[in-house]
């Protein structure tokens, strides 16, 4: 089949280091099949499936199941993330080595949904990861500083009477983990950076040679705590939407490489878990099918990144961080390619009900966005074309 690509941008297939596919456990909100469709339509050729499933992906049986199911569906490479600790309460290290050597060959370990709070456990996880040559991706929030927190700690949360979630809850853990990673000579990846202070900590740690990488979500690049005024829990997310000056700093940090890449933190939730009062609503928002457009809006239209830069933050860097040899790089002649074709001038209107995910919790409902993914190819085979899964 010939794909007409005049006037379009050809990019290496996108790689998402942070996707919640909800299987096993919450197949009412997303499955590996529906999430893979959303990924292909969003231009992704590889996703890392987060470990906070039910049961938690803390052993080889579960990570292998996720890996095999991804292969069966065949729309995107699904790389399971292994949990750092057993269960989500995290008092004991999981068998990282068993998961790293399993069929799934787990390359990234995280407890997303809960950070590794105990510094001794984190130190041991980092030391173990160095021996295995895998990466620990820390969900960076000091849990005791976020008890009951509902929104970014600041004027707006105070006015609404919400317990605040301070920037220091994130920054203190990131600083601690950078120091521990340097001590263990380990690779640390920081999930969903949300504050300007975290960007400063990362710049400091990188300057002194720490092997740390970091991701920012599309929603933290675009949205701010101004959204609190809507009272709509679709805007509730971990970490919370911060201030405009935080978002501005995150955009610059991404452009300058202090933050390495964009990751969606695609977090599907059922209607009954979102369409409720703010305090009871689950945190998280959909991201796979809107990521490219939000990056086009916040980074390309503003002149902060050109399309070469988009390839770097959406594909090359995440592939390097996640140790994927066959993604995010130029291909040799004759080699089956992972590619995404984008029409940079086209626009589309987001409708949650029309997205491939079972859940519909997009914060961009009704928004008109630039950048349309017109084709995705996984190893030379079309997985999505003109808004339809192949
Ligand atoms: C995540 C989820 O729904 O799994 N939600 C989110 O707001 N990012 C869990 C988490 O990261 O806390
Ligand atoms: Zn998280
Ligand atoms: Zn959290
Ligand atoms: Zn997450």
Tell me: the pLDDT tens digits for 351-380? 999 999 999 999 999 999 999 999 999 999
* Gap from CA of 237 to ligand 2 centroid (Å): 9
26-82: pLDDT as tens digits: 999 999 999 999 999 999 999 999 999 999 999 999 999 999 999 999 999 999 999
pLDDT at 71: 98
C-alpha dihedral (71, 72, 76, 77), degrees to nearest 10: -10
pLDDT at 89: 74
**What sign for the dihedral angle of Cα 247, 193, 45, 358?**
negative
162-175: pLDDT as tens digits: 999 999 999 999 99
Peptide bond into 71 cis (omega under 30): no
- Whether pLDDT at 1 is above 80: no
Q: Give the mean model confidence (pLDDT) for residues 212-232.
A: 97
Q: Which residue would you say has higher pLDDT here, 87 or 240?
A: 240
In terms of Cα–Cα distance, which of 312, 314, 308 is closest to 295? 314
Query: pTM, whole model, 2 decimals?
Result: 0.98
What value, to the nearest 5°, has the Cα angle with vertex 331 and ends 309 and 340?
50
| Residues forming a β-bridge with 190 | 138, 214
User: Do 284 and 238 form a contact (C-beta atoms < 8 A)?
Assistant: yes
Cβ(20) to ligand 1 under 6 A? Answer: yes
Distance, CA of 164 to CA of 169 (rounded, Å) = 10
* Gap from CA of 106 to ligand 3 centroid (Å): 22
Give the number of the ligand closest to the Cα of residue 233: 1
Q: Check residue 285 and report its DSSP letter.
A: B
- Whether pLDDT at 2 is above 90: no
Give the number of the ligand closest to the Cα of residue 18: 4
Q: First-to-last CA distance in the chain?
A: 12
Give the confidence band of 3 by pLDDT, cuts at 50, 70, 90.
Answer: confident
Q: Which residues does 10 contact at the CB level (< 8 Å), separation at least 6? A: 339, 340, 341
Q: Give the mean model confidence (pLDDT) for residues 308-321.
A: 98
- Whether pLDDT at 237 is above 80: yes
Alpha helices in the chain (DSSP H): 32-41, 60-73, 96-100, 119-132, 155-160, 167-184, 196-207, 218-222, 244-256, 271-274, 291-295, 307-311, 317-321
CB atoms within 10 A of CB 244: 11
Q: Would you name the residues annotated as active-site residues?
A: 265
pLDDT at 331: 79
Q: What is the mean pLDDT of the chain?
A: 96
Distance, CA of 48 to CA of 3 (rounded, Å) = 28
Peptide bond into 239 cis (omega under 30): yes
Q: Give the mean model confidence (pLDDT) for residues 142-149.
A: 91
* Gap from CA of 50 to ligand 4 centroid (Å): 7
Number of the ligand 1 atom closest to the C-alpha atom of 139: 11
84-140: pLDDT as tens digits: 999 877 789 999 999 999 999 999 999 888 888 899 999 999 999 999 999 999 999
Distance, CA of 271 to CA of 84 (rounded, Å) = 30
pLDDT at 333: 85
pLDDT at 113: 82
Cβ(265) to ligand 1 under 6 A? Answer: yes
């Amino acid at each position: 089949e010939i794909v007409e690509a005049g006037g379009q941008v050809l990019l290496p297939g996108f790689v998402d280091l942070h996707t919640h596919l909800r299987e096993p456990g919450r197949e009412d909100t997303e499955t590996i099949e529906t999430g893979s469709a959303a990924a292909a339509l969003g231009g992704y050729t590889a996703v890392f499936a987060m470990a906070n499933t039910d049961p938690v992906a803390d052993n080889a049986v579960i990570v292998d199941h996720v890996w095999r199911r991804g292969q069966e569906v065949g729309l995107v490479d699904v790389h399971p993330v292994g949990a750092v600790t057993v269960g989500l309460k995290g008092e004991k290290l999981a068998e990282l080595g068993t998961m790293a050597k399993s069929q799934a060959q787990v390359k990234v370990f995280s407890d997303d949904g809960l950070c590794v709070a105990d510094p001794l456990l984190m130190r041991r996880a980092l030391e173990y990861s160095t021996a295995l040559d895998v990466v620990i991706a820390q969900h960076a929030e000091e849990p005791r500083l976020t008890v009951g927190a509902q929104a970014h700690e600041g004027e707006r949360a105070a006015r609404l009477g919400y317990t605040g979630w301070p920037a220091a809850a994130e920054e203190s853990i990131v600083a601690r983990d950078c120091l521990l990673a340097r001590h263990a000579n380990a690779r640390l990846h920081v999930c969903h950076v949300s504050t300007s202070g975290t960007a400063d900590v990362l710049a400091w740690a990188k300057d002194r040679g720490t092997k740390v990488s970091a991701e920012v979500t599309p929603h933290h690049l675009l949205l701010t705590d101004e959204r609190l005024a809507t009272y709509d829990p679709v805007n509730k997310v971990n970490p919370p939407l911060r201030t405009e000056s935080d978002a501005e700093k995150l955009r610059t940090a991404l452009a300058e490489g202090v933050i390495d890449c964009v990751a969606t933190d695609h977090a599907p939730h059922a209607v009954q878990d979102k369409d409720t009062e703010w305090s009871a609503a689950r945190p998280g928002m959909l991201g796979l099918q809107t990521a490219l457009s939000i990056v086009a809006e916040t980074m390309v239209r503003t002149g902060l990144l050109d399309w070469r830069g988009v390839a770097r933050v959406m594909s090359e860097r995440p592939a390097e961080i996640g140790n994927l040899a066959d993604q995010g790089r130029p291909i040799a002649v004759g080699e089956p390619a992972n590619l995404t074709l984008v029409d940079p001038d086209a626009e589309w209107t987001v409708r949650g009900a029309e997205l491939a995910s079972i859940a519909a919790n997009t914060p961009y409902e009704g928004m008109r966005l630039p950048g349309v993914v017109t084709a995705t190819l996984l190893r030379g085979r079309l997985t999505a074309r003109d808004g339809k899964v192949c």
